[in-house]
Amino acid sequence: MGADRERRGGRRRSVRVGAYVGCGAMLLAGCASMPDSGDLRDVESTPRADSQVRVFAVPPREDAQPAEIVRGFLEALTSDDAQYETALKYLTATARKTWDPYRSTAVLADGPNTELVHSASREGADDGFLYQLSGSKVATVDAQHAYAPESGSYTAGVHLTQQKDKQWRIDGLPPGVVMGKSDFERNYESVNKYYFASDVSSGTGGQGGQLRTVADPVYVRGEVDPMTEMVRTLLEGPTSWLDPVVTSSFPSGTELKKGVKSVSPDDRNWVTVPLNSKADRVGQAQCNKMAAQLFFTLQDLTPTGVEEVELQKSDGSQLCALDEEKAQTVASHGTGQSPEYQYFIDAKQRLVRMPSVNGDKLPEPVPGALGEGDTKLRAAAVSRDEDIAAGVSTDGSSLYVGSLVSGSSLGEAVLHSEGKTADDRLTTPSWDGRGDLWVADRDTKKPRLLLLEKGAGEPLVVSAPGLDGRIEAVRVAADGVRIALIVEKDGKSSLQIGRIERDTKSGERPVVSILELRAAAPQLEEVTAMSWAGDSRLVVVGREEGGVQQMGYVQVDGSTPVGTAPSALTGVKEIAASEDERLPLVAHSEEDGIVRLSSGEQWQQVVKDGTAPVYPG
């Protein structure tokens, strides 16, 4: 289950599987099981098809040999033990005190290979056994539950000693846990926790000046009380990468009330969260913000969604309660405002629109000069409130901004590019949730990322100190604090996600920077098109090294969400998706023109002649 799931009825649905079989009672393919005898073998990852099977670990048997102990321990790491109780039984008393399984999770392409380095029977060896774990790194999940793609080799040592009772136990091991990719996918799920954009000032919030939620995807163990784990990690604060641009409404030091072991919904899908004394004195408005963060965070964790969140003081009295309707008044959330239209450039090079939820109606020119006037366009972007739009001229040299009101005129271009060719000029622009307009100028002599506040005025040059290459495409998230870029260098193009920081001094224009760029699709050698497709998910068109064009979803943290990729489409040039995942994908295909894909259906042609599809944003 990915952090962004398909929505039905306005709420995300996650389906919990009901097939739970204890491997201690029945041996299943891929379950953690202990061999009765034999040499140490590599620990194979559980096949992904077994994701519906709950796995229980097996403790060490009497007089188990070192090879068995290592294998059993590694298998126990992939089980559903809530506190790694079984894994701890493979360690000495001292090692149990020092080993921290929550420090990190190393994800390898396959289960860790194991090799005996030396044993007590060899001359010059100590009185124990040393095994080396090795493999190819795929990713690491850190103590904050944040996922980061990695590559290269993984090596670590596991040392065993024989105790006074003659039983072999592990007394030296690496911190954290290690497992293969398929076991990771079976054990962990990606869930968004939510904070608020910290750059909000009067009039710069979401719809109606609301706060804007920002998704912070993390990985938690899917079958080990994920709701309680998500509450705890939300209270701990945002991950390091996101922390500079978001804020939490919870007072510093807020935790679950001492003694609370689990948080779960009742039969009405109401969730009660008892807090410690740090939250006792918050006012009603702040409590509503706290409850909204929890409400949005917990939606993915029940089959039908949470109906209400209640926060309690340390004495057990109610602090506040909040339902979905009230949560949407507190913050502008990813799918709170569903766009009314989809847009594209038609054969006459005008901006046209069609209803986002009714594919039967024919496209029509947008009201105003960009649809009714004489200015020919090759790309456009529509503001998130669908009141204004920006259009790029056919040669890519000029950017226009106009109202989507019938009869309105189009003024002079707000921006010009001096690039020598059309491909060296302006990219498709993008509007953020603040109402600001972003575009990249690909002029080889002066490549720049530019920001026009409210779509007007002198453009701000945005600094990107970690950028290595030329920006080919720009898409800003609705929250206004994350940006997706396609960056080209040496004939290769990659998808990069950056954090938007604004340094504002009173009376001065802000200094805007893109910091800590990171790869979101490291497996792709070439990325040709992308679009935000959820709070923390993008749809991407590209290809792997030596491969053919493919389309799929990626998370902003570089992980791949579990689920079905969009059905194949030949010759995709551009792709558009909405943060509201109920709405269909729209694409421009060389063979079929403008096409759209609704959930559970096949691609359907809208018009043969059309390009540059976009949703508002």
What confidence tens digit (pLDDT) does each residue in 349-406 have? 999 999 988 767 889 999 999 999 999 999 999 999 999 999 999 999 999 999 999 9
Residue type, 247: T
Q: Are 101 and 176 in contact (CB under 8 A)?
A: yes
For the ranges 22-26, 411-415, 448-452, 573-577, the lowest mean pLDDT is seen at 22-26
Q: Write down how long the chain is.
A: 617
Q: Say how far apart CA 308 and CA 270 lie, in whole Å.
A: 5
- Lowest mean pLDDT: which of 4-13, 77-86, 482-491, 529-538? 4-13
What is the per-residue pLDDT across 424-459, written as a single tens digit (0 to 9) for each? 999 999 999 889 999 999 999 999 999 999 999 999
Q: Report the alpha-carbon distance of residue 292 to residue 289 in Å, rounded.
A: 5
What is the Cα–Cα distance from 471 to 19, expressed in whole angstroms? 47
Return the sign of the alpha-carbon dihedral for residues 279, 281, 283, 284. Answer: positive
Whose CA is closest to 140, among 104, 101, 182, 181? 104
Q: Give all strands (DSSP E) within 302-376, no chain letters.
A: 308-312, 318-323, 331-332, 341-346, 351-355, 364-365
Run of H or E including 284: helix 284-298
pTM confidence score: 0.88
Cα 237 to Cα 299: distance, rounded to the nearest angstrom: 18
Q: What is the mean pLDDT of residues 259-264?
A: 94
Integer angstrom CA distances of residue 578 from 177, 356, 531:
37, 10, 8
Neighbours of 62 (CB within 10 A): 7
Contact 139, 107 (CB under 8 A): yes
Give pLDDT, residue 351: 98
- Cα–Cα distance for residue pair 511/503, rounded to 1 Å: 5
Residues 6+ positions from 222 with CB-CB distance below 8 Å: 1, 187, 188, 189
Question: Is pLDDT above 90 for 206?
Answer: no
- CB contact at 8 A, 495 and 540: yes
Which residues lie below 8 Å from residue 353, measured CB to CB, with a gap of 6+? 341, 342, 343, 363, 364, 365, 366, 371
Its sign, for the CA torsion 245, 197, 426, 354, is positive
Of the candidate ranges 107-116, 195-204, 216-225, the one whose mean pLDDT is the lowest: 195-204
What pLDDT was estimated at residue 56? 78
* Per-residue confidence (pLDDT) for residue 54, from 0 to 100: 67
* Residues 164 and 274: beta-carbon distance below 8 Å: no
How confident is the prediction for the chain on average, in pLDDT?
A: 88
Sign, CA torsion 161/167/168/174:
negative
Comparing C-alpha atoms, which of 572, 529, 574, 573 is closest to residue 554? 529
- What would the pLDDT profile of 591-601 be if each residue is shown by its tens digit? 999 999 998 88
Instruction: Locate all alpha helices (DSSP H) within 343-488, ordered by sequence.
Output: 369-372
End-to-end CA distance of the chain: 26
In the chain, DSSP finds a helix count (H) and a strand count (E) of 8, 39
In order, the DSSP letters of 134-186 are EEEEEEEE-TT--EEE--SEEEEEEEEEE-TTS-EEEEE--SSEEEEHHHHHH
Distance of CA 89 to the CA centre of its chain: 35
Task: Give the model's pLDDT for residue 73.
Answer: 97
Q: Which of 343, 441, 348, 421 is nearest to 389 (CA)?
A: 343
The CATH 2.120.10.30 portion of the chain extends over 341-614
What is Dmax (Cα atoms) for the chain?
A: 92
**Which residue has tokens 């490549």?**
447
Q: What share of the chain is helix, strand, coil (3-state, %, to 5)?
A: 15, 35, 50
Q: Which CATH number fits domain 341-614: 3.40.50.1100, 3.40.50.300, 3.40.50.11540, 2.120.10.30?
A: 2.120.10.30
Residue 219 has φ and ψ, to the nearest 5°, of -110, 125
Asked if 479 contacts 472 with a C-beta cutoff of 8 angstroms, the reply is: no
Residue 57 pLDDT grade (very low, low, confident, very high; cuts 50, 70, 90): confident
Task: Count the neighbouring beta carbons within 10 Å of the beta carbon of residue 318.
Answer: 11
Question: Residues 201-228: what's their mean pLDDT?
Answer: 77
pLDDT at 27: 25
